[in-house]
Amino acid sequence: MKLSALEIASKVAKKEVSPTEVIEAHIARIEEVNPKLNAMVEDDFVRARKKAHEQTDLVAKDNSDLPPLFGVPFTVKEMFAYEGMKRTGGSIHHKNDVMNWDSTLVTRMKVAGAIPLGTTNVPELGFWFETFNPVYGRTNNPYDLGRTPGGSSGGEGALLGAGASPIGLGSDIGGSIRMPAFFCGVFGHKPSRYLFPLTGHFPFGQEDFLELSEDKYPWTSTGHLTRKASDLYPLTKILMGADQSDIYTMKNPSLDELTSEWAGRKILICPEPAFHRARGTDQELAQVVRNCGKLFSELGAEVEELDPRFFVRSAELWFAALKHSKRTNLYELLMGPNQHLSVGKEILKLAVGKGDYTLPNLIVSLTEIFDKSKKDFSAEMADLYKMKADLDAKLGDNGILLIPPHPRVAPKHRQPLWSPFDFIYTGIFTTLGNPATVAPTGLNAEGMPLGIQIVAKHMKDHLTISCAELIEQTFGGWTTAKP
């Protein structure tokens, strides 16, 4: 239960363990922890067992030329199309939607030999960094059930942190892979923009991207979470590249090989970044960044501290980027097709525990209803692109940035409502298009995961992942949660 996906696949290929034994071990762990976590919302155990038996019979006859993830279980964020399973996006208007096709990333995992176990919980419409919705309820952090696992890939983070899944598919627009990875003590990778296809991610169908202009292409990035750093790179290679639907994904991307050479490399650190509207960084997380900077200095890297105000306008620019590209208001998506929603009435219903929607979505919907302006965001987009160019210039081709993934460790349930802009620690790197990886760095005095975010230039994913592997070797990586 503590092995990487590659280690599991190796043991299966060597006939040291069967796919059936692997699947049963993970199903048993899910059944043990899920009643406390509410992380898996729909299981696919019947089909998973059938597929594992088929693979067990196959490997017994011939273990040559097996695909790279043969016999490895994985889990899927509920916002991905997954044949035979629901894709509700946590919305009551989609609670009965069952998909008859697989998203591209699910297909690629299956082709690689991996076996899906089921789907995991998300916030309503994937909007918010707590995982709670009116369809499936609230998900808890495996290290402290009174805390959030983050969002929107919170179900994935919780299951992986508890050792119930070795790898999972997630997605990220404001940090929705990296915050759950950090809060739950595992690894999460948001790849470079346009590296992974979005086909099949809620609310998109198979043909939707053929009709989009590039300036309306979503900022959402699909990606993955793992409990071991060694799985990040091979999974990136398996999942990257264009499909037949998402015409904006890079057609033949190529990643450089991993590196262990850090001498002379430029390392930027930003222990206490100043983000307008967000909290300041807690000292224990600022110290993690300084400790990692010291590690690289000892390895001969050129460590330099970035001006903490470099990202100060990030929240403003992130919102501008999303508004510039959006085709549909959250309000229209929230209320469902051909329906009228009284936001004020729904807020009152929520106050007495009878609401059909979550408060963050209602608040944003209310602002959309009253904001009828047609703003031109060209100035903000120019400033965003300048921030990207300035960061790229500071990083160079082979540098990395070390920065906290959040201002504090996983907060208590509902606390993010009082500090709603803290997501920007991760969110800005989605709209900048940089690859960004979160790696755990041990537990604090309360037993909650600490971690760091690693950023590099576009298509330098190999650098952030190489750094994550070094940090795992140095600080120990994932520690199994015991909810």
Q: Which CATH number is 470's domain given?
A: 3.90.1300.10
Spatial neighbors of 21 by CB under 8 A, at least 6 apart, are: none
DSSP 190: E
Residue 213 designated active-site: no
Q: Which residues contact 15 (CB under 8 A, 6 or more apart)?
A: 59, 60, 63
What are the 10-residue block averages of pLDDT along the chain, 483 residues in total?
94 97 98 98 98 97 91 98 97 94 98 98 95 97 98 98 98 98 98 97 88 88 98 98 95 97 97 98 98 98 98 96 80 65 78 81 76 83 98 96 98 96 98 98 98 98 98 97 92
Cα separation, 229 vs 238, in Å, equals 15
Residue 339 confidence (pLDDT): 65
Amino acid of residue 114: A
What pLDDT does 205 receive? 87
Is 482 within a domain? no
In a domain, 294, yes or no: yes
In tens, the pLDDT along 155-180 reads: 999 999 999 999 999 999 999 999 99
The pairing of beta strand 221-226 with beta strand 302-305: unpaired
Query: Tell me, what's the pLDDT at 367?
Result: 78
pLDDT in tens, 5-59: 999 999 999 999 999 999 999 999 999 999 999 999 999 999 999 999 999 999 9
Total of domains in the chain: 1
Residue 108 lies in a domain: yes
Has residue 413 been placed in a domain?
yes
pLDDT of residue 211: 79
Selecting among 4, 176, 325, 466, the annotated active-site residue is 176
For residue 481, being part of any structural domain is answered with: no
Amino acid residing at 253: P
Active-site residue, from 152, 165, 230, 325: 152
pLDDT value of position 327: 66
For this structure, is 103 an active site residue?
Answer: no
* Residue 87 Cα distances to 65, 107, 149, 172, 416, angstroms: 34, 16, 20, 17, 26
Among residues 4, 18, 51, 77, which one is catalytic? 77
The predicted-structure confidence for 104-158, as pLDDT tens digits, reads as follows 999 999 999 999 999 999 999 999 999 999 999 999 999 999 999 999 999 999 9
Domain assignment present for residue 480? The answer is no
- Where in the sequence is the domain holding 120, given as residue range(s)? 5-475
CA distances from 225 to 72, 160, 438 (A): 14, 8, 9
Active site residue 176: yes
Helix (H) or strand (E) holding 304: strand 302-305
Question: Is residue 351 included in any domain, yes or no?
Answer: yes
> Is 398 a member of any domain?
yes
